[in-house]
């Protein structure tokens, strides 16, 4: 089976799927080492790591695709759901984006209905008219046939157009052939249940990291609500930032490292020095 087929089979199994959010080779490798079969290449995490800034549509297709290749190269067995954002343009741009990720080995790709370029404010998520959103999703589904990559259709219209329109879009995306559905910014359990029902039996995805103005059920409760996949964009990113801040504070204080620093031997093992030497022995010239 290829990557999309493996993900489709996994989603057909019982149980809730946790997708750690990754952004580069190291984060993907660590997630795989922890036993996770899947990961979400998160736009917000890539923006934080590459730009040191917020996720406000500043990351380009090339930057996201480069981050995917890093993650995929470091954890080649991981089933990666790539954040394709708004597809980086019109329906034809969406097709190029979907085809590129499919050829590169992504298991799935997220495409959303936000307007691009966004208004010059961090507030709100204005979305495309419904029929334009339909055509972009239709283009994505058509392009996905080349590789079999799964399409995750996301609607961001809940905050600006209301739950009725958001649910109608979930139904529309499911009917157009989306494989996974995602209602962004649900207000409560009732809205989550409506979105899950609108998906018509197809898997529903949710962001479960705390902090944003949305319903963020626990993993167990998310499964009870009918959600199938949960990702945690701040799950590794926030502790990583905390660790770097601790390391810098230690240097400012005159110390060599923070108390939370890994022992040197564990760091070298994590980074794979021993694995490199074991593989390199095959190519050494006898002296």
Residue 223: pLDDT band with limits 50, 70, 90: very high
Q: Is the peptide bond before 24 cis (omega within 30 degrees of 0)?
A: no
Mean pLDDT value of segment 210-230: 95
Helices (H), the chain: 3-12, 25-33, 43-51, 61-74, 91-104, 130-144, 158-161, 163-176, 189-198, 219-224, 234-252, 264-271, 273-280
Q: pLDDT for 12-46, tens place per residue? A: 999 999 999 999 999 999 999 999 999 999 999 99
Mean pLDDT value of segment 121-131: 88
CA dist 17 and 249 (Å) reads 37
Q: pLDDT for 236-270, tens place per residue? A: 999 999 999 999 999 999 999 999 999 999 999 99
pLDDT at 241: 98
pLDDT at 116: 86
Q: Where are the domains of the chain?
A: 3-233, 241-283
Q: Strand, helix or coil at 81?
A: strand
- Name the pairing type of β-strands 17-22 and 38-41: parallel
pLDDT at 287: 81
pLDDT at 140: 98
Mean pLDDT value of segment 167-187: 98
CA dist 231 and 27 (Å) reads 14
Token reading at 246:
């601790």
CA dist 2 and 110 (Å) reads 18
The dihedral formed by the CA atoms of 110, 114, 116 and 120, expressed in degrees to the nearest 10: -120
Q: pLDDT for 52-94, tens place per residue? A: 999 999 999 999 999 999 999 999 999 999 999 999 999 999 9
Angle at 130 between CA 126 and CA 135, to 5 degrees: 110
- Residue 129, pLDDT > 80, answer yes
Closest C-alpha among 132, 230, 145 to residue 180: 230
pLDDT at 125: 83
Residues 6+ apart with CB under 8 A from 44: 21, 54, 55, 233, 237
Angle at 31 between CA 86 and CA 247, to 5 degrees: 100
- Residue 187, pLDDT > 90, answer yes
Residues recorded for the chain: 287
Q: pLDDT for 134-168, tens place per residue? A: 999 999 999 999 999 999 999 999 999 999 999 99
CATH of 3-233, one of 3.60.10.10, 3.40.50.620, 3.20.20.60, 3.40.50.200: 3.20.20.60
Q: Is the peptide bond before 71 cis (omega within 30 degrees of 0)?
A: no
pLDDT at 264: 97
- Residue 188, pLDDT > 80, answer yes
Instruction: Put residue 148 in one of left, alpha, beta given phi > 0 → left and psi -120 to 50 → alpha.
Output: left
- Residue 121, pLDDT > 80, answer no
């Amino acid at each position: 089976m290829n990557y999309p087929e493996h993900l489709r089979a996994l989603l057909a199994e019982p149980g809730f799927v946790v997708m750690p959010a990754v952004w580069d080779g190291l984060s993907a490798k660590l997630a795989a080492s922890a036993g996770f079969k899947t990961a979400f290449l998160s736009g917000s995490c890539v923006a934080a790591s590459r730009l040191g800034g917020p996720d406000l549509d500043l990351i380009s297709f090339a930057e996201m695709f480069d981050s995917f290749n890093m993650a995929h190269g470091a954890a080649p067995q991981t089933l990666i759901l790539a954040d394709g954002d708004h597809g980086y343009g019109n329906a034809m741009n969406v097709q190029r984006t979907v085809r590129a990720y499919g050829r590169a080995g992504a298991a799935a790709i997220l495409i959303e209905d936000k307007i691009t370029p966004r208004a010059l404010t961090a507030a709100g998520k204005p979305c495309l008219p419904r029929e334009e959103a339909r055509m972009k999703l239709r283009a994505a589904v058509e392009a996905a046939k080349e590789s079999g990559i799964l399409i995750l259709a996301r609607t961001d219209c809940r905050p600006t157009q209301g739950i009725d329109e958001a649910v109608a879009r979930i139904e529309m995306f499911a009917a157009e052939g989306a494989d996974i559905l995602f209602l962004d910014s649900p207000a409560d359990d009732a809205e989550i249940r409506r979105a899950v029902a609108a998906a018509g039996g197809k898997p529903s995805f949710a962001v479960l990291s705390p902090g944003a103005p949305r319903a963020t059920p626990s993993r167990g409760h998310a499964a009870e609500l009918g959600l199938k996949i949960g990702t945690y964009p701040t799950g590794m990113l926030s502790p990583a930032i905390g660790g770097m801040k601790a390391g810098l504070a230690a240097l400012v204080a005159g110390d060599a490292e923070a108390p939370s620093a890994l022992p040197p031997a564990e760091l070298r093992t994590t980074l794979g020095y021993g694995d490199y030497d074991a593989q390199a022995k095959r190519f050494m010239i006898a002296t």
